[in-house]
Amino acid sequence: MRNFYDVTITELQDILVRSGQKAYNADQIFKWVYELKVFDFGQMTNISKALREQLAEMFIIKELEIHTVQESSDGTVKYLFKLDDESLIETVLMRNDYGTSVCVTSQVGCNMGCSFCASGLIKKARDLSVYELVSQITSVEQHLSIRITNVVVMGTGEPFDNYDNVMDFIRIINYKQGLQIGSRHITVSTCGIVPKIYQYAKETIKTNLAISLHAANNELRNQLMPINKAYPIEAVLDACKTYFDMTGRRITFEYILLKGVNDNLDQADELSDLIRGINCYVNLIPYNPVLEFKYQKTDISRANEFHQRLLKRGINAILRREQGSDIDAACGQLRYKKENAI
């Protein structure tokens, strides 16, 4: 039986019409499930008894199973969810002044092979289904009795390597009778799969795009991110410019500061020169050290100097505050520990 969280509003309308029901019933059903949190079709009193019985035969509504929860002193919560096939995935809740954000995982494992990232310690086993994407949000909402206001698809995996399911997930969480998360509050992060950036620019829902950059030249980025050998920086930036021209949405460039690797002031100047003229801002991210890798976190004084150098050279940049540093904060870290302990 199919999980209801797998179904977009358009697909549900088609299912209803084909079975002799009215398309408008889809909105009513979505409201019961996503807004009113009613998961028993029999209690959906404004639709016919026949339709309620039909829905109960077609769908189940089931959340992901919580395997482990870690809570940081700063309020960050990391979840390890167990999927139906026993796979484990991570999801992170972050509390900010502007609301509550969930960082969503898009794949079981990751094949991008970034040399600093714990996500790649276990290779990709499969893509996540739409239900497994949506339920990362609904499960957190129900566990903490809160409403999620912002979503970032920046967890384990490459979202554009699971493109169709990620887009259906966005359609569900953005829909007016779905989770009602505004498009300006949804961000998808990619390591730079150029053809998918162009495809993403054509989508009708104009969400935000973040690029995992982490270096300002191809030589260093090749070492940090193997995907750069297929899609070098110049191709990524050309795609970003097209994305902005088509959507009007400012690009975010993510830049993890690695001590002695990409954090000197000459590299700040190189980064400034590289992205000048693009409507963007730089998100400087303190590194969460991973035991299996050699990289270390940049000293806070150097991180501040790097940040100030970008600002001085006219680049809009923020230095992200650390969150979850007292738990297994790095993407993939908790899952890797649990799976290697089994």
Just list the catalytic residues: 90, 331
Give residues with Cβ within 8 angstroms of 196, minimum separation 6. Answer: 160, 163, 190
Give residues with Cβ within 8 angstroms of 239, minimum separation 6. Answer: 194, 197, 198, 201
- Give the separation between CA 227 and CA 235, rounded to whole angstroms: 12
- Token pair 């050290």 in the structure block, residue: 289
Contact 76, 324 (CB under 8 A): yes
Contact 286, 257 (CB under 8 A): yes
| Helices of type H across the chain | 9-18, 25-30, 49-58, 130-144, 163-174, 194-201, 218-224, 233-247, 265-275, 300-312, 333-341
Select from 247, 265, 254 the least CA-distant residue to 313.
265
- Give the separation between CA 245 and CA 248, rounded to whole angstroms: 6
Q: What angle do CA 332, 188, 287 make, to 5 degrees?
A: 45
Neighbours of 71 (CB within 10 A): 14
* SS3 call for 290: coil
Contact 320, 286 (CB under 8 A): yes
